[in-house]
């Protein structure tokens, strides 16, 4: 009997079912890259992420970089990781850095996450620029819970939630996963927190896959700049469904395990 194919919802504008669905034979992915069959879709991925840039690093944050890198490395397992496959990918681990901690997002987090997201300036370059409104954000939050790959981002010093991010569209054939739906409170824009966030997620992802992709709105210049800072390369443009039902142009970026491994600890995100 032919198996169901789970098509990434960010391609077709439909919510993917939360359970992972294995597909049938290989095929080609017309709009972006990779193979559409043999994709495991773990989220309803409507497109675009808000930027997360902050003011220039303080001296304290510079001093914390070396300590942060050591803590992040502790999130990885050593020798046994080499035997891992993408099918073992835990989409919601708890990851700890020096500045932030990522833990699985839960229903109880709505008020705190919405409080972090309720600043209109966070979303002004985003394809869904009204996401600061409660009813619009509710759809975002429901999709995050559905995805089973979403995180609450917690500032360790204060213990409060300052944003969210997630893994989605795990592709077994091409050994890749998407990182997206990321936002941070404006207080934490400028690089330091976003770099540690991406460092944590990339370190974990590259235990299982060879490539991590990011999709951002064409006008979301902050996010595009942030991605180039962490070493991601532009792949192509793609017309994808937006929250308002229209198709909008997005930019696809990627970073590979090889290129990420070539970045020295001093210059890593």
d(CA 180, CA 227): 11
The pLDDT value recorded for residue 128 is 87
**pLDDT tens digit at each of 269 positions of the chain:** 444 444 443 333 333 333 333 333 333 333 333 333 333 333 334 444 444 444 444 444 444 444 444 554 555 443 345 455 556 889 999 999 999 999 999 999 999 999 999 999 999 988 889 999 999 999 999 999 999 999 999 999 999 999 999 999 999 889 999 999 999 999 999 778 988 999 999 999 999 999 999 999 998 898 898 888 888 999 999 888 776 678 889 999 999 998 887 554 444 55
Tell me 123's DSSP state: G
The pLDDT value recorded for residue 245 is 75
The pair of structure tokens assigned to 162 is: 């300052």
d(CA 120, CA 262): 37
The pair of structure tokens assigned to 248 is: 């909008």
The pLDDT value recorded for residue 184 is 96
The pLDDT value recorded for residue 135 is 95
d(CA 190, CA 262): 24
Q: Residue 86: how many CA atoms within 13 Å on its side-chain side?
A: 23
Helix axes 192-205, 59-73, angle to 10 degrees: 10
d(CA 228, CA 24): 35
d(CA 174, CA 6): 15
Q: Is the dihedral of CA 175, 232, 141, 192 positive or negative?
A: positive
């Amino acid at each position: 009997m032919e198996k169901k194919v789970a098509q990434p919802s960010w391609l077709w504008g439909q919510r993917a079912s939360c359970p992972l669905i294995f597909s049938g034979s290989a095929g080609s992915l017309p709009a972006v890259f990779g193979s559409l069959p043999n994709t495991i879709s773990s989220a309803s991925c409507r497109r675009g992420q808000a930027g997360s840039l902050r003011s220039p690093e303080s001296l304290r944050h510079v001093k914390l970089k070396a300590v942060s890198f050591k803590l992040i490395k502790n999130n990885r397992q050593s020798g046994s990781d080499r035997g891992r496959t993408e099918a073992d990918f835990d989409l919601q681990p708890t990851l700890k850095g020096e500045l932030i901690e990522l833990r699985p997002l839960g229903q109880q987090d709505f008020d705190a996450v919405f409080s972090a997201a309720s600043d209109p300036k966070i979303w002004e370059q985003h394809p869904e620029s009204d996401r600061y409104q409660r009813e619009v954000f509710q759809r975002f939050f429901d999709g995050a819970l559905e995805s089973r790959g979403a995180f609450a981002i917690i500032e360790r010093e204060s213990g409060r939630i300052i944003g969210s991010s997630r893994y989605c569209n795990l592709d077994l054939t091409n050994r890749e996963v998407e990182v997206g739906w990321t936002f941070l409170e404006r207080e934490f824009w400028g690089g330091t927190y976003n770099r540690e966030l991406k460092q944590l997620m990339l370190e974990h992802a590259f235990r299982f896959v060879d490539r991590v992709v990011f999709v951002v709105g064409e006008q979301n210049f902050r996010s595009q700049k942030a991605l180039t800072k962490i070493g991601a390369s532009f792949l192509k443009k793609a017309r994808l469904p937006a929250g308002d039902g229209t198709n909008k142009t997005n930019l696809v970026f990627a970073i590979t395990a090889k290129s990420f491994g070539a970045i020295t600890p001093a210059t890593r995100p």
